[in-house]
Amino acid sequence: MSNNKSVWGWWFAMAEDDGRVLLPRGDGREVRAGEVLSVPGPTVLCKRGLHASERAIDALAYAPGVIVCRVRLSGDIKREDDKIVGLEREVLWMADAGVALRLFACDCADAALSAERAAGREPDSRLWEAVRVARLYAIGQASEEERSAAGSAAESAQNKMLEERLSALDNSPRSN
C-alpha cells in the first residue's frame, strides 16, 4: 500500500564515538532533531527510502543502537507488517534510550519470571537476582563486576533448567 500522507513512527540509530548520529548503509549524512532528510524515489521497502516503524517494539527489532528517534515519514509511503518507508524523514526528537531499554528488558524478564511462578514453576533465585542487579546497574547503582557475576549465575541457572528440560525428553531404554 502506498500513499503520500505523513506517518509518525519510531526509528533507532547508533551514535558514533563522537556522539553524532549518521544515516546508515554508507549514506553518512548526519541526523539531527528538527531536520528533514530525503532520498530520491521511488520507495522500496528494505531497499530504498527512509524507514521507521509505527510501533516502538517493532522498531526495536531493527535497532542498531540505543538512540531513539520519534519521526514523521512522508512521500511515497509504503507499509509492511512492522515497518514503513518514505522519501522524507523528519526527526521530531531524539534521545539516548540506553537506560530506558535496559529497564524495559528487566520489566520483560520480571514478567517472564512471574508467569513461570504463576504457572507453578518457581524460577531459580539466581534469575530473580540477576534482574534485580541489572536494574541497579541500569541506574548506576551496581558495578560492572556485580552485573557480570549476577549474569554468570543466571546463565548457570538457565543452563540447569535447559538441561533438565532436555533430559526429560530422554526415553531411551537403560541397561544396568
* Per-residue confidence (pLDDT) for residue 4, from 0 to 100: 65
* Per-residue confidence (pLDDT) for residue 173, from 0 to 100: 74
> What is the dotted CATH code of the domain comprising 2-96?
3.20.170
Domain extent listing, the chain: 2-96, 99-166
Q: How far apart are CA 50 and CA 13, in angstroms?
A: 12
Residue type, 40: P
Residue type, 51: H
Q: How far apart are CA 27 and CA 31, in angstroms?
A: 11
* Per-residue confidence (pLDDT) for residue 3, from 0 to 100: 58
* Per-residue confidence (pLDDT) for residue 171, from 0 to 100: 78
Average pLDDT across each block of 10 residues of the chain; the chain has 176 residues. List them in order. 79 96 91 96 92 97 96 95 96 97 97 96 95 97 97 95 91 68
The secondary structure element, H or E, covering residue 85 is: strand 84-86
* Per-residue confidence (pLDDT) for residue 1, from 0 to 100: 47
Q: How far apart are CA 71 and CA 173, in angstroms?
A: 60
**List of residues 6+ apart from 151 with CB closer than 8 A:** 130, 134
Q: How far apart are CA 8 and CA 133, in angstroms?
A: 35
Q: Is 68 helix (H, G, I), strand (E, B) or coil?
A: strand
* Per-residue confidence (pLDDT) for residue 14, from 0 to 100: 95
* Per-residue confidence (pLDDT) for residue 26, from 0 to 100: 85
